[in-house]
Amino acid sequence: MSQVSALRTRLRDIVRDLELERDRLRELRDAIHLPPAATSPEDDDEEPDPLLEIKTVIECGLHDCLEPLLRDLLAAVDDQAKSDG
């Protein structure tokens, strides 16, 4: 097995693991039930609702970091496979 082929295999395994973690984060996010007050506009002096803060961090992390990373890693593996094909 060439080094490139071995790297592709490892990368696909890592992507699979990251997809599982993404799914776990989605499940956790979906399990957070916010009280009505947590979703209403807040005064600047009030502390943010901890549930809302956790849910927001998960949503932003998925949207801004994990999903683009997964997309780029898969594209890199697929692009390389096509160029070798």
Domain spans, the chain: 3-34+45-84
**pLDDT at position 85:** 56
Nearest to 54 by CA among 34, 24, 37: 34
**pLDDT at position 45:** 61
- Ranges of residues in the chain with a pLDDT under 50 are none
**pLDDT at position 60:** 98
Q: Do the Cβ atoms of 11 and 74 come closer than 8 Å?
A: no
**pLDDT at position 40:** 61
**pLDDT at position 84:** 61
